[in-house]
């Protein structure tokens, strides 16, 4: 890997190496820019990942965040990774595409926000992202007949098989899910990525390389093209010059503060850490928009109990989906949701039973004893922005003396109506598949919207290209920029947005 001196001014510093930072780093390096990525977490060799859920927490951002509101969001393993590759180290690799309607939520429903561009603009980048990640999927996609996937779908797990049965009985269409999971081995940037072996431990890190992470895709490409990645480098200060442009960052590595001068800064630290860094440095905060409009996807789960053992923890979890509820005809809410099959490891399941189901003591132990007889379904639903849902700096500081983030989230009437609708549908699917009882577990997922993109500078933090409205050499490319949550899970769109922003950053640099 090329090394720059800390005193050398580089063209661009990228903070964070997740689904936003890694593609930008690779694109800028390929175009010949001098680029350095600063990543708070360590490097992980995929061979070192362990299915043990307690040990696997090393790939999560475990430093405490304060969670408030009536529906406080769960952090730790439920949200955001820490390491070279960011959250893609532990993501589920479920990669549905957003459709045109999701990007036009306000126009279609009068609620929420439209994206500043439509699907025509985003699609080429989504296709490129699918190619780079290695996305598998069905030969026939019922909701988009033109769609093609390069690899056949992953094998269905028990939850997917029961979901298929239940949906068939109810006349709901399903398809094998698009997933950034190789079903045939391939060599990528000199790394051998194996085919999926259906072990089911994707959230603890994939040991075969079948699941795409930034560490098996864009980051090796970036290094090969001349980028430097500094791991264990926590950025805490952004320095600006007399006219307010960024000219250096200061990061802490092994207890030492190091200053890195740069001509431009790309923040890709995620939906919590990017606004936290901006607020702590009073950067781009003039419009009062940083940290506002926090969005979390309703991610309610329903688990059904069957007479026979199911062992839904085996196999690639998100192997079946339905897009039939993106705009339900009988909806009393704006937007819609996807339903996917689930598969989780025991500790994750136990945590969700406690947190989302309110179980404790003997009732919890009985539910865990019966877990192998259950299969589950979950949603990813639209969430509307609300002035009450926001990230602010708390009065408490973390291990490095930086104020902790405090995130408030309360589901509004729209989210509650969507969850009611989805819960009813999921219960009916499981009952039609033969479940003898069902259990609903409340959950939210993902951290979006806290530096949203907007055409009007008064309504967001960055423009449609990801460039700050206030500081012209500052860019944000992580999922804090989503103006609306979308029903599609965020990472594929995140990679596509990052590829698009990279083109704009290059244009600005020339």
Ligand X SMILES: Cc1cc2nc3c(=O)[nH]c(=O)nc-3n(C[C@H](O)[C@H](O)[C@H](O)COP(=O)(O)OP(=O)(O)OC[C@H]3O[C@@H](n4cnc5c(N)ncnc54)[C@H](O)[C@@H]3O)c2cc1C
Burial (CB count <10 Å: 0-12, 13-18, 19+), residue 5: exposed
What is the smallest separation between the CB atom of 315 and ligand SF4, expressed in angstroms? Answer: 7
| Residue 210 touches which of ligand SF4, ligand X, none (Cβ within 5-8 Å per kind) | ligand SF4
- Nearest CA to 380 among 485, 271, 302, 272? 485
Residues 409/383, Cβ–Cβ less than 8 Å? no
In sequence order, the β-bridge partners of residue 303 are: 376, 439
Strand 403-408 and strand 391-397: pairing? antiparallel
Closest residue by beta carbon to ligand X: 18
The correct pick among 34, 49, 82, 230 for binding ligand X (CB under 6 A) is 82
What is the smallest separation between the CB atom of 268 and ligand X, expressed in angstroms? Answer: 5
The correct pick among 109, 216, 300, 494 for binding ligand X (CB under 6 A) is 494
Q: Is residue 489 close enough to count as binding ligand X by CB under 6 A?
A: yes
Q: How many helices (H) and strands (E) does the chain have?
A: 11, 20
What is the smallest separation between the CB atom of 51 and ligand SF4, expressed in angstroms? Answer: 8
What is the smallest separation between the CB atom of 286 and ligand X, expressed in angstroms? Answer: 21
What is the smallest separation between the CB atom of 142 and ligand SF4, expressed in angstroms? Answer: 24
- CA distance readout (Å), 503 to 23, 419, 510: 11, 38, 11
What is the smallest separation between the CB atom of 230 and ligand X, expressed in angstroms? Answer: 9
Q: Is residue 92 close enough to count as binding ligand X by CB under 6 A?
A: yes
- CB of 305 or CB of 444, closer to ligand X: 444
Residues 11/262, Cβ–Cβ less than 8 Å? yes
Residues 141/175, Cβ–Cβ less than 8 Å? yes
| Residue 450 touches which of ligand X, ligand SF4, none (Cβ within 5-8 Å per kind) | none
- CB of 296 or CB of 427, closer to ligand X: 296
What is the smallest separation between the CB atom of 480 and ligand X, expressed in angstroms? Answer: 7
- Nearest CA to 2 among 36, 42, 39, 40? 36
- CB of 1 or CB of 197, closer to ligand SF4: 197
Letters for 434-473 (x = contact with ligand X by CB under 6 A, - = none) are ------------x---------------------------
What is the smallest separation between the CB atom of 176 and ligand X, expressed in angstroms? Answer: 15
Q: Is residue 273 close enough to count as binding ligand X by CB under 6 A?
A: yes
Q: Is residue 341 close enough to count as binding ligand X by CB under 6 A?
A: no
| Residue 211 touches which of ligand SF4, ligand X, none (Cβ within 5-8 Å per kind) | ligand SF4
The two three-digit tokens of residue 167, written as one number: 């949906």
The residues binding ligand SF4 (CB under 6 A) are 181, 196-202, 206, 208, 210-211, 316
CB proximity list for 103: less than 8 A, separation 6 or greater: 114, 115, 117, 118, 119, 122, 484, 486
Q: Is residue 478 close enough to count as binding ligand X by CB under 6 A?
A: yes
Residues 302/427, Cβ–Cβ less than 8 Å? yes
In sequence order, the β-bridge partners of residue 471 are: none
Sign, CA torsion 170/142/179/450: negative
- Nearest CA to 132 among 157, 156, 150? 150
The correct pick among 73, 79, 310, 319 for binding ligand X (CB under 6 A) is 79
State the CB neighbour count (10 A cutoff) for residue 426.
26
Helix axes 158-170, 413-432, angle to 10 degrees: 90
| Residue 98 touches which of ligand X, ligand SF4, none (Cβ within 5-8 Å per kind) | none
Residues 2-41 that bind ligand X (CB under 6 A): 15-21, 38-41
Letters for 229-248 (x = contact with ligand X by CB under 6 A, - = none) are -----xx-------------
d(CA 464, CA 23): 17
What are the residues binding ligand X (CB under 6 A)? 15-21, 38-41, 78-83, 86-88, 90-94, 203, 234-235, 268-271, 273, 277, 318, 446, 478-479, 489-492, 494
């Amino acid at each position: 890997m090329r090394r720059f001196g800390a005193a050398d001014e580089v063209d661009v510093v990228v903070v964070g190496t997740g689904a936003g930072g890694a593609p930008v780093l690779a694109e800028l390096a390929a175009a010949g820019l001098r680029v350095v990525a600063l990543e708070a977490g360590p490097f992980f060799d995929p061979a070192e990942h362990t299915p043990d859920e307690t040990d696997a927490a090393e790939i999560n951002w475990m430093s405490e965040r304060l969670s408030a509101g009536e529906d406080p969001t769960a952090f730790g393993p439920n949200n955001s990774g820490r390491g070279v590759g960011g959250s893609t180290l532990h993501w589920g690799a479920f990669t549905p595409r957003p459709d045109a309607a999701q990007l036009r939520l306000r126009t279609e429903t009068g609620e929420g926000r439209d994206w500043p561009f439509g699907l025509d603009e985003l699609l080429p980048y989504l296709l490129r992202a699918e190619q780079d990640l290695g996305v598998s999927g069905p030969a026939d996609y019922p909701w988009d007949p033109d769609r093609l996937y390069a690899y056949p779908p992953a094998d269905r797990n028990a939850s997917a098989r029961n979901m298929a049965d239940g949906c068939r009985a109810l006349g709901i269409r399903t398809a094998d899910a698009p997933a950034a999971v190789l079903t045939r081995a391939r060599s990528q940037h000199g790394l051998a990525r194996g085919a999926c072996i259906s072990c089911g431990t994707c959230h603890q890190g994939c040991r075969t390389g079948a699941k795409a992470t930034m560490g098996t895709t864009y980051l090796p490409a970036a290094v090969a093209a001349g980028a430097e990645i500094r791991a264990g480098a926590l950025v805490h200060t952004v320095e600006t010059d007399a006219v307010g442009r960024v000219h250096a960052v200061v990061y802490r590595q092994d207890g030492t503060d190091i200053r890195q001068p740069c001509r431009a800064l790309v923040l890709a630290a995620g939906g919590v850490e990017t606004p936290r860094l901006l607020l702590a440095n009073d950067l781009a905060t003039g419009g009062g928009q940083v940290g506002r409009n926090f969005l979390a996807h309703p991610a309610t789960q329903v688990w059904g109990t069957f007479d026979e053992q199911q062992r839904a923890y085996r196999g690639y979890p998100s192997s079946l989906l339905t897009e039939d509820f993106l705009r339900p005809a009988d909806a009393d809410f704006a937007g819609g949701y996807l339903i996917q099959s689930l598969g989780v490891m025991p500790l994750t399941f136990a945590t969700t039973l406690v947190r989302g189901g309110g179980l404790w003591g003997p009732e919890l132990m009985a539910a865990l004893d019966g877990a192998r007889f259950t299969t589950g379904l979950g949603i990813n639903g639209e969430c509307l922005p609300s002035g009450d849902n926001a990230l602010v700096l708390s009065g408490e500081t973390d291990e490095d003396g930086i104020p902790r983030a405090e995130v408030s989230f309360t589901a509004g009437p729209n989210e509650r109506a969507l969850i009611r609708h989805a819960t009813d549908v999921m219960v009916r699917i499981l009952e039609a598949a033969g479940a003898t009882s069902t259990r609903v577990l409340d959950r939210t997922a993902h951290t979006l919207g806290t530096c949203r993109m907007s055409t009007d500078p008064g309504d967001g933090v960055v423009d449609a290209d990801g460039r700050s409205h206030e500081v012209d050499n500052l860019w944000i490319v992580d999922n804090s920029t989503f103006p609306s949550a979308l029903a599609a899970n965020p990472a594929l769109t995140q990679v596509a947005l990052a590829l698009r922003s990279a083109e704009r950053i290059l244009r600005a640099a020339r």
